[in-house]
Amino acid sequence: MKKEEAKRIFRQYIKKQGLRNTRQREEILDVFLSSGGHITVDELFDKVKKRDSSIGYATIHRNLNLLLEAGLAEEIKIGKEKTRYEQMHMREHHDHLICLECGRFIEVVDENIEKLQNRLAEEKEFTPVRHKLEIYGYCKKCR
């Protein structure tokens, strides 16, 4: 299962940094990886709280930052909306079509676009590491 793979990566990162594993850390990790992506801090906090009602808000933040550092999560900031956190290792890379009306995220991949991006970077003597493509507009239901 992919989730176990992601967990291993995180535990490895924790150990490598001389940090420690805790009950709370494991809960947050598991809830995050089960969340399906695009989750806000508050949503994650609420979900973790259902399993461990004594969890602190700061602990959610601290561990989300670790997930970012470990490369398991990525921030998504859209306009004035709350920051969302996308899972990076559980799922294949993908880009987003984002509906300006209902806020829906449609996940897409286009291999040709990916290739052209690399070529474009190459032309500018730029070494690409990752990218973010977001197309805003109106989804099937809202257009």
- Judged by the rule CB under 7 A, the positions of this chain that interact with DNA are 14-15, 18-25, 41, 52, 54-59, 61-63, 65, 80, 82-83
Q: Is 129 among the residues that bind a copy of itself (CB under 8 A)?
A: yes
Rg of the chain in Å (alpha carbons): 17
To the nearest whole angstrom, how small is the minimum distance from the Cβ of residue 83 to DNA? 4
129 binds, among a copy of itself, Mn ion, Zn ion, none (CB under 5 to 8 A by kind): a copy of itself
Other C-beta atoms closer than 10 Å to the C-beta of 92 total: 8
User: Which residue has tokens 């197309």?
Assistant: 135
Helix 57-69 with 2-16: angle, nearest 10 deg: 90
> Whole-angstrom Cα distance, residue 56 to residue 32?
16
> Whole-angstrom Cα distance, residue 20 to residue 34?
22
Structure tokens at 102: 């209902």
Q: Which of residues 11 and 104 has its CB atom nearest to Zn ion in the complex? A: 104
Span near Mn ion by CB under 5 A; candidates 1-9, 36-44, 117-125, 130-138:
36-44
Query: 48-87 mask for a copy of itself (x: CB under 8 A)?
Result: ---------------------------x-x-x--------
> Whole-angstrom Cα distance, residue 73 to residue 94?
14
Give the interface with a copy of itself as residue ranges (CB under 8 A). Answer: 75, 77, 79, 97, 99-100, 106, 108, 110, 112-113, 116-117, 120-121, 124-140, 143
